[in-house]
């Protein structure tokens, strides 16, 4: 089972699921019914498990090229298992990986249909965008934008579960926030950590194409945009999210994104890229905890 969990990067996937919970509670303002909550959690788990597995399935050949000489680097703590890329390492068969992906993807499709048939379109779009992201590795650094769109699909689906007809403008605002976070806090730092291997296989990532100085600058720009956009998110919520919420959100952005991003920008040290990735990976969970506090307080009539 550890090999399958490593294939789906389970630790990272669970942290990502938190952002779907944040999105649902932000838009709804209270907890959904228990049947919806349970099915939504199972569907989100299935979707993320399948999608991360698909990433490795599509990238088997490139992964083998990248790590054939030096082996797999220790990496960052949320993905530090020696079993990372188990198919590329020959520790898991391709057939088993495909079966694992197919099973979880079927669960995601069934759950999406039960929650809201329109969600099926989101679930169908996810592997297409993920495949595009993987196949663009040696083509263009603009794949980082595709990565941001992939990461936004989960929260979009969560919103459609609780608000069947959301405002497109507010939805676009949320997507912009997620894209900036993914590019600056996840995509560029992850590619920075693998820059030597990516050069060897001819990858066209931002750190490889532009170097550490420009990559560090883009990290700071996107993370500043992430924090700024996060302060606009209360507009889409029925909750009265005033100054205490904004201060908590700002603090999360400063400590988990801006400070580690600034250290990376100043030092251009690859080890700090891994540290930024780790801190940024906790950002969805912290945002979920923040909104949970305000949802509970509102339910108790103690809104701040």
- pLDDT the model gives residue 271: 85
What CATH number has the domain spanning 2-299?
Answer: 1.10.357.140
CA distance 272 to 76: 10
- Could you write out the three-class secondary structure of the chain? CHHHHHHCCHHHHHHHHHHHHHHHHHHHCCCCCHHHHHHHHHHHHHHHHHHHHHHHHHCHHHHHHHCCCCCCCCCCHHHCCCCCCCCCCCCCCHHHHHHHHHHHHHHHHHHHHHHCCCHHHHHHHHHHHHHHHHHCCCCCCCHHHHHHHHHHHHHHHHHHHHCCCCCHHHHHHHHHHHHHHHHHHHHHHHHHHCHHHHHHHCCCCHHHHHHHHHHHHHHHHHHHHHHHHHCCHHHHCCCCCCHHHHHHHHHHHHHHHHHHHHHHHHHCCHHHHHHHHHHHHHHHHHHHHHHHHHHHHHHCCCCC
CA 62 – CA 64 distance, rounded (Å):
5
Rounded to 5 degrees, φ, ψ at 82 are -70, -15
Q: How far apart are CA 20 and CA 14, in angstroms?
A: 10
Nearest to 111 by CA among 28, 3, 37, 205: 37
Task: For residue 225, give Cα distances in angstroms to 92, 179, 181, 236.
Answer: 40, 10, 8, 18
37 to each of 24, 32, 44, how far by Cα in Å? 10, 6, 10
What is d(CA 214, CA 207) in angstroms, rounded to the nearest whole number?
8
Task: Write down the pLDDT at residue 100.
Answer: 87
The answer to whether the CB of 287 falls within 8 A of the CB of 252 is yes
Map tokens 């506090």 to a residue.
293
- The one-digit pLDDT tens for each residue of the chain (304 residues) are 776 666 667 777 788 899 999 999 999 999 999 999 999 999 999 999 898 888 888 877 777 776 665 555 555 545 555 566 777 676 777 888 889 889 999 999 999 999 999 899 999 999 999 999 989 999 999 999 999 999 999 999 999 999 988 999 999 999 999 999 999 999 999 999 888 888 888 889 999 999 999 999 999 999 999 999 999 999 999 999 999 999 999 999 999 999 999 999 999 888 899 999 999 999 999 999 999 999 999 888 876 6
What are the residue ranges spanned by the domains of the chain? 2-299
């Amino acid at each position: 089972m550890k090999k399958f969990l490593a294939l789906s990067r389970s630790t990272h996937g669970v942290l990502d699921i938190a952002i779907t919970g944040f999105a649902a509670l932000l838009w709804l303002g209270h907890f959904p019914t228990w049947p919806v909550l349970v099915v939504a959690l199972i569907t989100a788990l299935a979707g993320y498990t399948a999608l991360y597995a698909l990433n490795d399935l599509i990238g088997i050949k490139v992964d083998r090229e990248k790590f054939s000489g030096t082996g797999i680097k220790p990496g960052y703590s949320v993905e530090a298992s020696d079993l990372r890329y188990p198919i590329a390492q020959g520790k898991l068969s391709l057939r088993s990986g495909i079966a694992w992906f197919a099973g979880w993807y079927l669960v995601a499709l069934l759950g999406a249909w039960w929650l809201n048939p329109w969600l099926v379109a989101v679930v169908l779009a996810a592997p297409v965008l993920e495949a595009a992201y993987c196949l663009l590795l040696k083509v263009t650094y603009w794949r980082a934008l595709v990565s941001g769109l992939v990461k936004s699909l989960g929260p979009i689906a969560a919103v459609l579960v609780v608000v069947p007809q959301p405002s497109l403008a507010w939805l676009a605002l949320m997507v912009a926030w997620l894209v900036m976070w993914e590019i600056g806090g996840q995509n560029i730092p992850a590619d920075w950590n693998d820059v030597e291997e990516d050069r060897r296989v001819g990858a066209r990532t931002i750190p490889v194409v532009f170097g550490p100085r420009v990559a560090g600058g883009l990290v700071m720009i996107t993370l500043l945009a992430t924090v700024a956009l996060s302060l606009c998110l209360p507009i889409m919520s029925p909750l009265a999210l005033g100054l205490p919420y904004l201060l908590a959100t700002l603090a999360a952005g400063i400590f988990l994104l801006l400070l580690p991003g600034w250290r990376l920008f100043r030092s251009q040290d690859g080890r700090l890229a891994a540290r930024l990735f780790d801190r940024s990976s906790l950002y969805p969970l912290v945002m979920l905890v923040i909104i949970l506090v305000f949802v509970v307080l509102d339910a108790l009539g103690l809104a701040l």
